[in-house]
Amino acid sequence: MATRLRAAVIGYGNVGRYAVEAVQEAPDLELAGIVRRDPSDRAGIDPSVAVVGHVSELGRVDVALLCVPTRQVPEVAQRYLAAGINTVDSYDIHGELVDLRRRLDPVAREHGAVAIVSAGWDPGTDSMVRAMLEFMAPRGITYTDFGPGMSMGHSVAVRAIPGVRDAMSLTVPVGQGVHRRLVYVELEPGADLEVVTRRILEDPYFQHDETRVIPVPSVEDVVDMGHGVRMERKGVSGRTHNQRFLFDMRINNPALTAQVMVAAARATFRQRPGAYTMLEVPVIDYLPGDREALLRRLM
């Protein structure tokens, strides 16, 4: 049997917890352990799983799943790539992900490593579906409607604001790609709701959508990990109009994100050194098993 690739999960928040499970279920990956700021915090972690403060304590690590807040990804990814460790992240700031790829590419090449950026479901697998719909109907419009559901990236951004004890940002589809943000905040004692609200509305995560901030006594009482997306395209194939396509899914947000990251972790070992988006990687490289056997089964 071939040696399984050793994967480390960096961070143990919502995505990190599911990433551990997804790695453990992967037939070709082995969980090296978890890296977190406080390795003494083992709440909810199987006693057999190593929890450390630095990746060097885990021995050989082939790939790191960066389950950290989006805004920490660029620095953390560069550090792991410089150590020769492949990286996968779920960076979700759409307008900046190509810049992140460009930033990580020379680091990965220099150290013989591979990075796959924005390996989630949007951006990520939804981007792949959008590309497929576009080559099926080159002229037309694709509408992407998210939710209703919790956006992890938006929620983390709000939790970083001083005075916020906990937060959940809910994405509500209006239609035709337009969304509202309902931000539920649990404030620290003495925090000023007006100041917190202004900071939220000024954040790039929220500047382009109608946003309502709602104070609640306990965010935990309103959290729901469910989410979803509905993509519709109406366009033209050749000269034939009225080609219509629909992609719809309802999912547990962090569980799906973690599963996609594990698939991307596998794919890193099938690419040349450098940084890639999911769109640039052959679909078959995300799947475990023999390539010809996969072709015979799926074609």
Burial class (CB in 10 A: 0-12, 13-18, 19+), 159: middle
Report the pLDDT averaged over residues 129-138: 97
Asked if residue 193 has pLDDT above 80, the reply is: yes
pLDDT at 50: 98
| Percent over 70 (pLDDT), the chain | 99
For 235-253, the pLDDT digits (tens) are 999 999 999 999 999 999 9
**How many whole angstroms separate alpha carbon 30 and alpha carbon 50?**
12
Backbone φ, ψ for residue 91 (5° rounding): -50, 125
pLDDT at 225: 86
**How many whole angstroms separate alpha carbon 105 and alpha carbon 79?**
13
Tokens of 5: 């690739």
Report the pLDDT averaged over residues 289-296: 96
Place 177 in a pLDDT band, splitting at 50, 70 and 90: confident
**How many whole angstroms separate alpha carbon 265 and alpha carbon 64?**
8
pLDDT at 72: 96
Tokens of 101: 């790829």
Sheet containing 51-52, strands listed edge to edge, beginning at the edge strand earlier in sequence: 51-52, 29-35, 5-10, 63-66, 86-89, 114-117, 274-277
Place 2 in a pLDDT band, splitting at 50, 70 and 90: low
Report the pLDDT averaged over residues 266-271: 98
User: What average pLDDT is seen over the chain?
Assistant: 96
**How many whole angstroms separate alpha carbon 146 and alpha carbon 143?**
10
pLDDT at 1: 41
Question: Among 240, 44, 221, which Cα is nearest to 137's?
Answer: 240
pLDDT at 218: 96
| Percent over 90 (pLDDT), the chain | 94
CATH topology of domain 5-123+253-298: Rossmann fold (3.40.50)
**How many whole angstroms separate alpha carbon 63 and alpha carbon 9?**
9
pLDDT at 202: 95
Asked if residue 197 has pLDDT above 60, the reply is: yes
Residues carrying CATH 3.40.50.720, the chain: 5-123+253-298
Report the pLDDT averaged over residues 258-265: 98
Residues carrying CATH 3.30.360.10, the chain: 147-226
**How many whole angstroms separate alpha carbon 200 and alpha carbon 206?**
7
The CATH class of the 147-226 domain is: alpha beta
Report the pLDDT averaged over residues 99-114: 98
**How many whole angstroms separate alpha carbon 204 and alpha carbon 200?**
9
